[in-house]
Amino acid sequence: MNVRIFAPAKINLTLKVAPPRADGLHPLQSVVAFADVGDVVEAEAAEALSLRVHGPFADRIGAGEDNLVLRAARLLAEQAGRPAQAALTLEKNLPVASGVGGGSADAAAALRALNDLWRLDWSNAQLAEVGARLGADVPVFFTCGAGAYMTGIGEICTAAPLPALPVVLINPLKPLATPDVYRAFDKMKLGAALVHDGAPSWRNAEDALADMRTLGNDLEPAARALLPEIGDILAACAASAQVRHAALSGSGATVFAVTADLDAAKSLERDLAKRHPGWWVRQAMLGA
C-alpha cells in the first residue's frame, strides 16, 4: 500500500501580531489560504522507519532525526501505541524557511499519510492535537477548507471560506528564520493589542483585497530589515500593472502577488522569472 498526500503552501493573507506574552510567545490573528503548489509526502509499509528526500529543495534540508516528517511519524506511533514502521518519501518543492509553512505542511501530510497507512482512522481533530505538539502551525492543515482563521499563537484554527485568488509566489531564495524575525519585531517594539472581531467574511475578491490592504502583515517591517531583498520583490510587484495587491506571507521571505485572473498570473510569472532569474517564482491559485 502506498499513500500519497499533498502538502500545500500556506499563505498568510493577513497577519496581526501582538507583543509577546509572559512566556515569550506572540498572540496573533491571521487569515490563511492554501495554495495548489506544495510538497508531497508518500508512505509505504516497511519493517523500520526511514525517510528519503528529493525534489528541487532537497539539498536545503536533511533527512535526519530532527526532520519534522520523521518527528511526526514517531509521535503518531507513540500516541497510537504501535511501532513506527514506514518508508517515507518527501518531495521538497517549496523553498525552506520561506514563510509558507512548508515544514508544518510536511508534518501534517505525514500524519495524514500514516493515519491511512496504519489504518488508525483518527479524526482531523485528533491528528491536529498531535500536530500541535510538533508546532503551532501544524493544526491549521487539518481545518479541511480553502482557508482558515488562526488565533492564539496559531494553534486555534477555524475553517474560513475564501474566494479563489490567482497569485504569483515570489521568494529571493534566501532563508529567513522565523525566530530571527520575531526577535527583530520585539526589538523594534512593533505589535499592538489584538481586536477580537473574529474571522472576516469575504463574499468576493474585492472584500478580500480590501481587508488585506487594511490589515497587512505586522511582521513585514522586521522581515524587510533583516532581508532587504523583500523590498526589491515588493517594488517589482508594485511596478507591474498586473498586480492588484502584494504582501509578505508569514515571517517571509515569500511574497504573494494577487492578479486579476489566471492569465495575468501566468504572464507575471513569466515576466518576473525572466527579469529575476535568481528568484523562485510560481503561479498558483489560492482558495480554490
pLDDT digits 0-9 by tens, 124-172? 999 999 999 999 999 999 997 889 999 999 989 999 889 999 999 999 9
Residue type, 31: V
Determine which one of 92, 137, 180, 197 is catalytic.
137
pTM here is 0.95
Quote the pLDDT of residue 161.
87
28-44 vs 49-54, strand pairing mode: unpaired
86-91 vs 49-54, strand pairing mode: parallel
Helix (H) or strand (E) holding 233: helix 229-238
Confidence of residue 37 (pLDDT cuts 50, 70, 90): very high
Determine which one of 10, 16, 92, 106 is catalytic.
10
> In the predicted model, is pLDDT for residue 62 greater than 80?
no
Asked which of 3-17, 70-84, 185-199, 244-258 is least confident by mean pLDDT, the reply is: 185-199
CA distance 61 to 95: 10
User: ω into residue 253 within 30 of 0, thus cis?
Assistant: yes
Nearest alpha carbon to residue 287 among 188, 163, 187:
163
**SS3 track for 141-196:** HHCCCCEEEEECCCCEEEECCCCCEEEEEEECCCCCCHHHHHHHHHHCCCCCCCCC
Nearest alpha carbon to residue 223 among 179, 265, 262, 266:
179
Active site residue 137: yes
Quote the pLDDT of residue 5.
98
Active site residue 39: no
Quote the pLDDT of residue 287.
85
| Digit-coded pLDDT (tens) for 245-263 | 999 999 999 999 999 999 9
Residue type, 107: A
| Digit-coded pLDDT (tens) for 175-232 | 999 999 999 999 999 989 998 777 888 989 999 999 999 999 999 999 999 999 999 9
